[in-house]
């Protein structure tokens, strides 16, 4: 996969001023972004969140998932530390797309869990790829990260690409609307609860 750098700009946020870097991948022709805060240390692990797009959680404040809460917490932690990166990947609904994600939500409303819903629609439990992360991080001069995640499969995928990863838990956003969803992520997708 080839990842092409597009452009950069300042991005003021409630957490402080980030620099937003736009990229496009050659495989799916999707645009991804890197949000960089502060000066990135050379030859040190950089605090990082690899976050797949979740329109419902990130922009519409859905309580069905913990995505939006994790994104906000990651931005807060990075700003508090003074530097870090968020790789925001355009992989809505574990890369099944927004329309199919809403179809999966409907199946969940009828009693399926998130894995069963994706599989009923003909998808794997998780269709995401992290191949674009390595060239994005290389463009930013980063080879070692402290990854804010509860997903050991994400850690393994990044390590397979040659990225040095230390995992940092990011537990936030649990509520009565997503208890079953989070339990399924732990029991069927291997997410670590701490």
For the stretch 67-126, pLDDT in tens is: 999 999 999 999 999 999 999 999 999 999 999 999 999 999 999 999 999 999 999 999
For the stretch 181-192, pLDDT in tens is: 888 888 878 788
Do 135 and 115 share a structural domain? no
Q: How far is CA 104 from CA 3, 108, 127, in A?
A: 30, 6, 14
Query: Which residue range forms the structural domain that includes residue 145?
Result: 25-91+128-194
Select from 96, 99, 154, 145 the least CA-distant residue to 125.
96
Is 124 a residue of the active site? no
Q: Which of 94, 126, 131, 167 is catalytic?
A: 126
Judge whether 83 lies within some domain: yes
For the stretch 34-67, pLDDT in tens is: 999 999 987 789 999 999 999 999 999 999 999 9
Query: What pLDDT shows up at residue 57?
Result: 95
Q: Domain boundary at 82, 104, 126, which? A: 126
Is 66 a residue of the active site? no
- Structurally, the chain folds into a number of domains equal to 2
Do 49 and 122 share a structural domain? no
Q: Which of 64, 90, 128, 167 is catalytic?
A: 128
């Amino acid at each position: 996969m080839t990842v092409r750098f597009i452009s950069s700009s300042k991005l003021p946020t409630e957490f402080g001023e980030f620099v937003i870097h736009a990229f496009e991948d050659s495989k799916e022709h999707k645009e991804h972004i890197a949000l960089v805060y502060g000066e990135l240390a050379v030859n040190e692990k950089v605090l990082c969140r690899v976050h797949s797009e979740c329109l419902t959680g990130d922009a519409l404040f859905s309580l069905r998932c913990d995505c939006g809460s994790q994104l906000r917490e990651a931005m807060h932690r990075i700003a508090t530390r003074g530097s870090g990166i968020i790789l925001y990947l355009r992989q809505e609904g574990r890369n099944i797309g927004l329309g199919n994600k809403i179809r999966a939500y409907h199946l969940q409303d009828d009693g399926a869990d998130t894995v069963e819903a994706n599989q009923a629609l003909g998808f794997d439990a998780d269709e995401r790829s992290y191949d674009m992360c390595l060239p994005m991080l290389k463009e930013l001069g980063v080879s070692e990260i402290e990854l804010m995640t509860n997903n050991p499969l994400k850690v393994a995928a990044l390590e397979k690409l040659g990225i040095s990863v230390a995992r940092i838990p990011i537990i936030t956003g649990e509520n009565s609307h997503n208890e079953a969803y989070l339990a399924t992520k732990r029991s069927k997708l291997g997410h670590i609860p701490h």
